[in-house]
A and B are shown apart, each in its own frame.
Chain A
Amino acid sequence: MTQVFGFVLSLVLTFAALFVALKTSLSFNAIIWIIGTLAVIQAALQLFMFMHLKDGEDSKAQTINILYGIFIAVVTVAGSIWVMSFGM
Chain B
Amino acid sequence: MSANLNTALPLEYQTEQNRMNILGFWIFLGAEIILFATLFATYSVLSTRFAGGPTQNDLFEIKGVMTETILLLTSSFTCGLAIYEMHRGNKKGLLTWMIITLLLGAGFVGLEINEFITYVHEGATMQTSAFLSSFFVLLGTHGLHVSMGIGWAVMVMIQIVKRGLTPVTARKAFIIGLYWHFLDVVWIFIFTFVYLKGMVS
Contact = CB atoms under 8 A, between A and B. Distances in A.
Interface of A: 1, 3, 6-7, 10-11, 14, 17-18, 21-22, 28, 31-32, 35-36, 38-39, 42-43, 46-47, 49-51, 55-58, 61-62, 65-66, 68-70, 72-74, 76-77, 79-81, 84
Contacts of B74: 7
28 contacts: A7-B77, A11-B73, A14-B188, A18-B66, A18-B196, A22-B200, A35-B197, A36-B193, A39-B189, A39-B192, A43-B188, A50-B76, A50-B77, A50-B181, A51-B178, A51-B181, A65-B27, A65-B30, A66-B26, A66-B29, A66-B33, A69-B34, A72-B37, A73-B33, A74-B37, A76-B37, A80-B45, A81-B44
Interface string B51-84: 0000000000010001001100110110111001
Nearest to B47: A81
Contacts of A68: 30
Nearest to A80: B41
Interface residues of B, number: 47
A76 to B, nearest CB: 4
Contacts of A43: 185, 188-189
Interface of B: 13, 19, 22-23, 26-27, 29-31, 33-34, 36-38, 40-42, 44-45, 62, 66, 69-70, 73-74, 76-77, 79-81, 84, 177-178, 181-182, 184-185, 188-189, 191-193, 196-197, 199-201
